[in-house]
Structure 1
Amino acid sequence: MKNTILSVLLATTVLSAVPALAADNSAAAIAMVDKGAAYLQKNGKDALIKEVNSKNPEFINDTTYLTVRALDGTQLAHPTNPKLVGKNMVVLPDADGKLFRKEIIDQAQAKGKGWVDYRYNNPANGDIEKKSTYFVKHGDVILEAGIYKGK
């Protein structure tokens, strides 16, 4: 009986912490995009692209990182996968067939900012996981920061 009660209490504690962790990660993604926007406004698009591509620690941390995409879908800056820079992968879907990059671009054009959910390979563990990307359109680029949400 003690073990059952302890297990229930432990499960309740862990499950009650999950929304807080997701909220913290969401806040981290928003903060990262906001930091990129402030840098862009102060120093210009080319300077931001250079800093992101050079893996400036201001734009990459344990939770998320900033990427920069052109409105046509071309990846302009990516601090963790430089092979993506210069590529347009709008027609490549996520694990479920969703054209999430196109959705980001379409929503950025229509609303200016928002979130898009999809399923993507998490490089930290190699698993396909739920991911959400926060984005903001600034001029002719979209600033993005994604967070993994687990399976």
Structure 2
Amino acid sequence: MKILKLLVALLLAAQCQFVMADDNPADAIAMVEKGLAYMQKNGKDALVQEINNKTPDFINGSIYLYVRGLDGIVIAHPINPKLIGKNMLDLPDADGKYYRKEIIALAKSKGKGWVDYRYNNPVSKQIENKTTYIFRSNDVILEAGIYKGK
């Protein structure tokens, strides 16, 4: 029985790695663009409500859309609602990088782009390389990231 459980665990781990390997930067960009189009049509409050209600349009496997204010406060997050209303600019990633500050700086300077950091992957339960595409629209930043493995 223990061997069977071990084999199932190994199979699941292999599947998770396969799924994560499918993460594509274009999918993160598409998720942000979908959110931007929705916000332009329906308004910021409607987008925030849809994300916080875990609407499937804004969650695609491990890629999901979230919204942060230019002050760093999380406005919408479909995976971890405990983050909503929090400003975590002074909390670094697993390697000590203040990537949230980098997100804010990039949003204010260029308006869009990628930020790399290391973060706990909720699927694999491991610290992994992650890259997040950000796009500033007025006073908010739309973000969607992908895991790149260890």
Normalised TM-score (structure 2): 0.85
Partners of 1:103 and 1:31 lie apart in 2 by 22
Task: Give the % identical residues.
Answer: 67
Counterpart contact for 1:25–1:63, Cα < 8 Å: no
2: CA distance between counterparts of 1:135 and 1:60? 16
| Aligned 8 A contact 1:117 1:130 in 2 | yes
Higher Rg: 1
What 5-or-longer segments of structure 1 have no aligned partner?
1-17
CA RMSD between the two structures: 1.3
Structure 1 runs (4+) deviating above 2 angstroms are: none
In 1, Cα distance between the equivalents of 2:105 and 2:149? 26
> Secondary structure in 2 aligned to 1:126?
coil
For the residue of structure 1 that corresponds to 2:24, the secondary structure is: helix
Aligned mates of 1:106, 1:86 — CA distance in 2? 20
Tell me how far apart the structure 1 counterparts of residues 105 and 115 of structure 2 sit (CA, whole Å): 11
TM-score (norm 1): 0.84
**Shift in Å, 1:63:** 3.7
Measure, in 2, the Cα distance between the counterparts of 1:125 and 1:107: 29
In structure 2, C-alpha distance between the alignment counterparts of 1:73 and 1:95, rounded to whole Å: 19
Q: Tell me the amino acid that sits aligned with residue 40 of structure 1.
A: M
- Say if 2:127 is the partner of 1:128: yes
| 1:146 Cα deviation from its structure 2 partner | 0.5
1:10-64 superposed Cα distances (whole Å, 9 cap, x missing partner): xxxxxxxx9xx57x61010000000000001000000000000000000001140
Any unmatched runs of 5+ in structure 2? 1-17
2:30 is matched by which residue type in structure 1? A
Contact 1:94 1:118 in 2 (8 A): yes
Letter aligned with residue 114 of structure 2? W
Number of matched residues?
Answer: 131
CA distance in 2, matches of 1:86, 1:114: 24
